[in-house]
Structure formats: C-alpha cells, structure tokens
Chain A
C-alpha cells in the first residue's frame, strides 16, 4: 500500500478531482490511511443535486429552438455543472460524470434539446460508481444517444437496412475497441438495436421496426435485443481491457502499462463490471503513485479552470469567462469534437490553445480577459496571500504556493525566478504584505506561476 502523505495526497487529488484547495488537502489528510480516504470520501455516495432549472422536465418543442430558449438553458446547465465541480469537495462523483461524458459521448449541436443532454448527464451521475454493463444498457436507450448516433427511427425489420452508426461506435468506442469485431458484427448488431425512437422526453420501442429473428453476433447465434447484445459484448475478454485502458489513460498516464491493465481488467471481471472495486484498486495501487507518472498529465481545460479556481479559493467565479474560454481552449461541455470525445494530453495543446491557457489564468488575477473584457469575482490577491501562514516570508511563501499549484518539481533557478518576480528588485528581508505595491507584486507572482509550462501538468 502506498504511503499516505502530502505528496501522495496532492497527486491523488489533482488526478481524481478537478484539482483541489488547501482545505481539500487538509480534509484528505485528516484520514489516517489512503484506503479510508478513498472509501469514505472519494468514492462515497453523496446526495443528488437539484436540477439546474424547470426546463429539464418540459417536453421538447421546436419553438424552444426557434426562440433560442435552448441557448440560455445550455448556459444555465453548463454553469450549474461547473458549480458542482468547483464545490465537489473531496468526492469524485463529478469527475466520473465527466469521464462518462467523454466516453459515451453526445454533442449538443446534434441533440439540440438540453432536456435530453440533462437526462444523459443525470444518468452518468446516477451511475458514477455503478455497473458498467447496466450503464451501457441504459445508454442504448438514452434519448440523447438515440438522436446523436442516429438510432432514432432506425428500422431493422426484414428487408430494411437499419442505421449502423450506433452499433459501430458501441463496439469501437464504448466497449471493445477496434479490431475486436467485424463489419458483419456491426450490421448484425444494428438489427438487434433497431426499433427505438425518441418521443417527447421519453423513448419508445416499436417491435415491427425491430429484427426479431436470430442473428449471429460475435460468434453467437440468438434472438438478440438491445439488452442481451450488451451482455454478450461484455463476455468478450477485450471489454474489460478496453475499459481499463481508458480509465488508466484518464487517471494514471497517457502511456498505458499493459501488465498493470491486465491486473485491473481481472479485478473488473471479478467485480462483474462494478466500478467501485476497480477504482479502489486503482487509487490504492503502487502503480498510481509511481514516480514516473507524477506530473505527466496535461490538464484538460476544465481541470485547468476548475483547479485554478479551487487553488485560489474563488468564491464567486465568472462563469461567462469560464464558459467562453473553455470553448476557446477546445472544451465546451456537452460539445466534444466528435464521437470519440476529447482525445486529451497533447491534443489539447496547439499554438493557440497554449497561449489561451495563459490568458485565462491571467484573467483570474487581473480581472480582465486578453481582449480587455472585464472578469468578475477576481481573486483579491493580497487577502489570498495573507491567508497563508508564510505570507510574510517571501522564500517560504513561494515554496508554499509552488507546492500547492505545481506538481512538476521546479529547479532552484525557477524558484529563484519566481522569488525575483515577487521581490521585484528588493531583498528578501524587506518583503512584507504591508510594503507599498505588494498587491501588484503578488499579482505578478501568481500570474508567473500559472504561466509556467509546468503549471499545465498534473
């Protein structure tokens, strides 16, 4: 079992959550063992949140699109989810909702109605630590998914050609991975999955548009329906390995360790695809904490934004700024780029998105976006720094801030660069938060820390 201390706690919180605050770290370390913390805090079931608005239960109507009510609802919905993330404390639930959003993807631009996207988001929350097989069955008949991958009105009756889009991605992206099925399996699965359509907020099944005869799918001949087909997919060895690889890449490292993944997959099969035992296995394994994976993950835009807000103890973030900049950094919630979702790691970074990240963190400190638009709820830098016990000791203060915010080990030169930024020409012994222009110097220091390329790593 890995050692439970500040270092391991920081690593765990920056990976299993959307970043953390000083308070979160204290709370984690108030548990005497890692295993206790993971079980009683990280993976604990917590109360379901209130819905973002009454619109979630209104029947979808074309006029909601024509009058662009849906645009406002999506904003409300997105701000609401950001709010849940920033107040998640030490529960991993929202982080798993995000994982599923990026796994069983749907795009708002195609689904259109936020009511459906909300129902899908709620489904992911209900299953955050649930059973993957059951979740996959629920996704099969999720209204947003039915619209997104063209199952809507797919007709599999004899002599008809049902839509193959969902059948393909169910296997390629959601359960097995490419190479573990044939083009014929896709055509057959499309038949078994046909007959469904969306009606209002609900989905309905029309038996006459479904292929009721036997099909041969992944080597088995039977009268498959939308549930038994999932059961059969999950009998394949590839399923657990595929899903564990995805979890590994999300939480541990972009370079999968196949030996460890095989062990993880065995745990997953034994648990009959229940997630909790798998997550517990992962977060209490030595593999998760091994030195070479620490600070190797490039933060997602959402992790960067939410994590920064948490580290800065921001009480009332400017969600408009977060929403707009998240989009510029290529992560608009409910709008992954395509059905494969956000690929992550280096794919987040291009010439443009890299510099936009710097513009974002600056804006939390200066209260201005790169284009001059005002940002509300900016950090009161002086008050923030005064909340550190070491605020009057420049060297220790820089150490504390770096320990809180930067996972990649900084060299002495780099720390000196940060110290010089704070001191701005004066000497260490002259530093106090009461010196003239202290606020401006602190602002420069905070910006400089978050402009370090190292800050992009978690």
Chain B
C-alpha cells in the first residue's frame, strides 16, 4: 500500500478518535500539553510475558526431590531424584530444562516458589482472568493489569494513539491482560509481514457511532481497525530492521520469541509483549507431555536470552512466566494431575538476582483440596516487576494493583527513580470513573513548588486545582467534577524543575 493511501484510510477510519486534536498547534501543544512533556512514559525497559496455558504442574517443574511425601503421592509420575537438575541439593528443575538450568547457574533466573492467591479458583477460565486482571479471588475486574499500567503511562489514549504499539501479543485472540474499558491496548498478530499485507484495503468512515449497544460494538470495531492500520507499518519496519543472532527452536513459542527479539533489535519501544504456549492441562499421561512442554519453554527462553545478550539488548528485557494454577499434589487415576492452586514462577533476565525466592512447598501441610499452601501472592511479582524493572513509582504500582503488596528481592537493584531523580509521584484518582467528587493523591519526596491542573484531552487547561510550595508528604486534593460534562479529562502535576506527570480521569453519568 502506498503511504498516501495508507494515511487516507487512516483518516477514514479514525472517525471520532482524533477529534479535537487539530485545534492545538504543534507549538502550543509542546508548551502546554501535559501529554507531550510527561515524565512517566516508559523507561525503555521491556517486559515479555510467557503464558503457560492450562495450569502448569509446579511440582514436576521445580521438583522437591528430597521430599518423601512427593514420591508417595506420585508413585507413577514423579521425577526421579537422579533425573532432576538440582538447584541446591533440595529442589531441581525438570530434566528437560537443561537450557534454563544453565541460565540459572549464571544467576539469570529467579525462581519464585509457592506463588498463588488466597481462595484459589480451580477453574481455568476464572483463574486465568484473575491472573490477567490481578484481582482478589472474589473480585471481578474487567481490565487487565498490564492494560491499567499502560493506561497510566499513555493517558492520551484513545484520543491520540501513541506512535508505537502500547503492547504486542503474538497470537490471534487478544488477552484480557491488555484490555481496558477504553479499548484494546494490544496489537495482535502472528507474523509482521502477513499482518501488514492483510491490513491492505481496510477502510471505514468518520461518522461517530451512536451511543447504543450496537453503536458501542461498532466503535470498538473501528478502534481495532485504526490501530491495525497505524501499527502494521510500524511493526513491519521494526521487524525488517531487526535481526536474530541465534537460531530459534522450531516451536510455536520459539517463533513467537524470535519475532519479539527481532522487533526489540529493530528499535521497537513497545514495553509489553505477550507470548503464549498451551497444553499444560495434563489430566492424563502427563510425564512425557510435561517434559516436552518444558523442553520447549526452556529452550525458547534460553535462545531468546542469548540472542538479546549477543546483541547487547539483554539489560532492557525481563521475561516472566505465569500459569492459571498449579496442580494437585497427588496423581489421579489416569497418570495425570487434576487442577490445583499454588505453583512456582520464573523471572529471567540480566538484571535479576537469580536464585530461589520464597519457601519450598510444604507437602505435609495441605489444604482441604489436597494442594500445598501459598507463600507469595502473585501480585507481589507484578508489583516488583513494575517498580524494579519498568521503573513505576511505588505508590503508582500499588494503585495499579489496587492494593499494597510487599516487594520481593527479584532484581539486583530497583529501577524506581530515587527521590533526587523523581521529586514526586501522582496516583490515579478515586473514585474513577467519577460522577461528582473525586480524590487525587500525590506524594512529594521533598519541598517544592506544586502546580496541579485539570485539562481536556487536547491539553487545554481547564482549572488550576492547587498552586503553592509544599513540604514533603502525601497530599489529597478533592475535586468537584459535578458541573463537568461526561467524558475524558487529564489531570497533571508539575513539580520541581518542571517535571510533570499526567493521568486520565473519566467523568461518567447516567
């Protein structure tokens, strides 16, 4: 497709999406738009998630080979002591994981033991949703945690699309992880070139859909169309420019990670990539299947890590594995294991400390369902990756996860800005969406001049909420939005040295 044609189609499709932006000239936008001068954007770091769909059997992944109870419960499907790849004389990897073991020996793998959440759901679907939305077991959230993180660093979406895709998922069906109330933040594809070819010919129009049930579905379709058109070229460019310096295993996950590496090598600034491998629901004859699955995962991740190291890119990237649940301690009658709860997780990369975090499973202390008990909440890992790798301020990380979690020693050092680098933090307002009153909280690390303002989505200043010199501490500003029309707004805090952070506020009535 010719560039001109491309832009024409984008204009046709974008109906309602870029409304209002043309009122702001480049110069004024640069000077005043809280979106343009924003300290919270990405720090250049990348998180690659590997989803192990189906419920990974943790005990045969990180094997407690000194524990008799393990062998008693799994007479036919336990990993033999002699076969486990010992990590510390007590526990060891599945024998298929030689490649990951090598990385472990080089302190590039942090193994986090006994991860889960209280009242673990044993439904594939509900539990996958919980892991994706980072909710409590009894709370249903509609927005993915990565989506909420992206919303906080790209407050201008969906009025303006960031230049680079906010998140990329290798696959076809977009994960809840990347969905938010304001739209799908992920660009989803299997192959950059095929994707680019397919986009050719996509058109739409600029009628704003009515606010009806069907109209909302149409609006959603248009948003996907716009993102596809805008990003297919960006993605192809990065992938064409980048290289792989390793030959990847010819597996689904191997191919996915080779594309991720190529894009990072080609200069992609997308902070989140999601890859997936299925088949972990090993109810029957699991020994061979599970071995093969972990050989695939271990080989693919190790190749990816080596590829990035060779290209000098490994410091930017962290790989995180997750699965909806672990499996029951005892084997079932069909040489497999049924749904359990707690399981280990892996974080891989140059910047991790390596080693084992958390207590090994205590198989003599099982819950009523026959599962070992959790020691670490899965959200502690999310919180820590956000703060220590992606550089999210502590208060903001907690606000994204809707709760305060204890940090884990996964990384050698934190990427969080020190008080000298970052004088303040601004947190998502509550409640949001709002009908009338809402509270904006911010934390000052030192005394400084503070200017808290409210803007429309074009960046135009609507209200000065506070302007004074303030001492260090936590402040809450109550804002009355009851006279403002429904829609999206930005609020912005400017502190010492003109540093600025903006977040989005939604007014919704009726």
Count the B residues whose beta carbon is within 8 Å of the partner chain — how many? 56
| Minimum distance in angstroms from B482 CB to a CB of chain A | 28
Closest B-chain residue to A155, C-beta based?
B333
A161 B201 Cβ-Cβ under 8 A: no
Q: Mark A275-301, 1 if CB is under 8 A from B, else 0.
A: 000000000000000001111111000
Question: In this complex, which of A330, A355, A371 has the most chain B Cβ atoms within 10 angstroms of its Cβ?
Answer: A355
How many angstroms between the C-alpha atoms of A253 and B212 in the bound complex? 13
Residues in A with CB closer than 8 Å to B330 are 161
Partner of B332, one of A163, A294, A359: A163
- How many angstroms between the C-alpha atoms of A384 and B207 in the bound complex? 30
Chain A, residues 398-440, CB within 8 Å of chain B (1/0): the string is 0000000000100101100100000000000000000000000
Residue A172 lies at the interface, judged by CB distance under 8 Å to chain B:
yes
Listed residue (B190, B203, B220, B336) with the most chain A CB atoms within 10 angstroms of its CB: B203
A413 to B208, CA, bound (A): 12
Q: Are A350 and B336 in contact (CB under 8 A)?
A: no
* Bound-state Cα–Cα, A413 to B319, Å: 49
Question: B227 — which chain A residues lie within 8 A by C-beta?
Answer: 351
Q: Which of B194, B217, B231, B332 has a CB less than 8 Å from the CB of A161?
A: B332
Taking a contact as CB atoms under 8 Å apart, the answer to whether A408 and B369 are in contact is no
Q: Give the nearest-CB partner of B334 in chain A.
A: A163
Shortest Cβ distance from B122 into A: residue: A183
| Cβ contact within 8 Å between B173 and A417 | no
By a CB distance below 8 angstroms, the chain B residues around A356 are 198
Question: Of all chain A residues, which has the CB nearest B178?
Answer: A350
Q: Do the beta carbons of A346 and B225 come within 8 Å of each other?
A: no
Q: Is the CB of A351 within 8 A of B338?
A: no
Q: Is A335 an interface residue (CB 8 A)?
A: no
Report yes or no: B198 in contact with A359, Cβ–Cβ below 8 A. yes
Interface residues of B in 216-270 (CB under 8 A from A): 217-218, 220-222, 224-225, 227-228, 231-232
A168 within 8 A of B: yes
Query: Measured between C-beta atoms, what is the minimum distance from A258 to chain B in Å?
Result: 16
B407 at the interface (CB under 8 A from A): no
* Residue-wise interface mask of B (40-57) relative to A, using a CB-CB cutoff of 8 A (1 in contact, 0 not): 000000000000010000
Q: Is the CB of B283 within 8 A of A150?
A: yes
Is B198 within 8 A of A352, CB to CB?
yes
Q: Does A65 touch B at the CB level, under 8 Å?
A: no
Question: Are B202 and A350 in contact, CB atoms less than 8 angstroms apart?
Answer: no
Residue of A nearest to B197 (CB): A370
**A353: chain B residues within 8 A (beta carbon):** 172-173, 188
Q: Is the CB of B231 within 8 A of A351?
A: yes
> Which residue on chain B has the smallest CB distance to residue A355?
B198
Contacts of B199 in A (CB 8 A): 355
Is residue B311 within 8 Å, beta carbon to beta carbon, of the partner chain? Answer: no
9 A–B contacts, CB within 8 A, in A order: A154-B333, A297-B217, A338-B53, A345-B217, A350-B186, A353-B188, A370-B198, A452-B203, A457-B214
Chain B interface (Cβ within 8 Å of chain A)? Answer: 53, 122-126, 169, 172-174, 184, 186-190, 194-195, 197-205, 207, 212-214, 217-218, 220-222, 224-225, 227-228, 231-232, 278, 281, 283-284, 330-334, 336, 338-339, 368-369
By Cβ-Cβ distance, the 7 closest A-B pairs, closest first, are: A350-B188, A453-B221, A351-B228, A296-B214, A355-B198, A155-B333, A150-B283
